[in-house]
Amino acid sequence: LSELEALMERMKRLQEDKEDEEASQEEMATRFEKEKKESLLVISGGICAFPVKFSFDDEIVSTDVSRYVEDPGFGYKDFARRGEDHLPTFRAQDYTWENHGFSLVNRLYSDIGHLLDEKFRMVYNLTYNTMATHEDVDTTTLRRALFNYVHCMYGIRYDDYDYGEVNQLLERSLKVYIKTVTCYPERTTKRMYDSYWRQFKHSEKVHVNLLLMEARMQAELLYALRAITRHLT
């Protein structure tokens, strides 16, 4: 099977399995913890703790970002140290964008919540129902896996989501690309972009980038707004 056909087959099998039997809460919690720990092993720039068939190390360009930020040393850091048994988890059900963050940000800055919510929804729901040359394809499962994997890297867990889907739908090379774009965008190279989903259209791969950026922004907002809520109460 080609990369595209294999991915579509996994999406179809996941949907059939979901209709037949749902995983228990304990199983889903275990799968999240496994995915969260593995995300710490994924290193941006193509160097990965898992065996992969390629490396982009020779293409990484040291970019001077000092012209854009006041503190050049400020950047992404993994939310926990590798090897820790109990990694911190942000349970989305305890503080969600829809039920908590949206209303608070509107209080702090009138109407900004509506604009942000519209942006999140537009990017998440954007689809032509196609995958490369295939039409009438429901890509909801794939889009949710991309969005939730970014949140997983930030330690955010959705109790109603089976993180086993992430490992089945996102190959390791794509996970390396996701972490690079989301956490270290200045290290992204064209070769990395070209390496995954080779049969997909550019518009579909650009949509992946939009999903990653919006997922990251929402994750950051959730942490910030939760901290403000705790301060106010």
Q: Rounded to an integer, what distance in angstroms lies between the CA atom of residue 100 and that of residue 227?
A: 12
pLDDT digits (tens, 9 = 90+) for 119-157: 999 999 999 999 999 999 999 999 999 999 999 999 999
> Would you place residue 19 in the very low, low, confident or very high pLDDT band (cuts 50, 70, 90)?
low
Q: How many domains are contained in the chain?
A: 1
Q: Which domain holds residue 67?
A: 3-232
Q: Exposure string (b/e) for 194-233, b if CB count within 10 Å is 16 or more? A: ebbbeebeeebeebbbebbebbbebbebbbebbeeeeeee
Q: Which of 47, 33, 57 is nearest to 167 (CA)?
A: 33
DSSP annotation string for 33-51: HHHHHHHHHB-GGG-BSS-
pTM of structure: 0.84
| 8 Å CB contact between 188 and 181 | yes
Please give the span between the terminal C-alpha atoms of the chain, in angstroms, as a whole number: 55
| 8 Å CB contact between 182 and 150 | yes
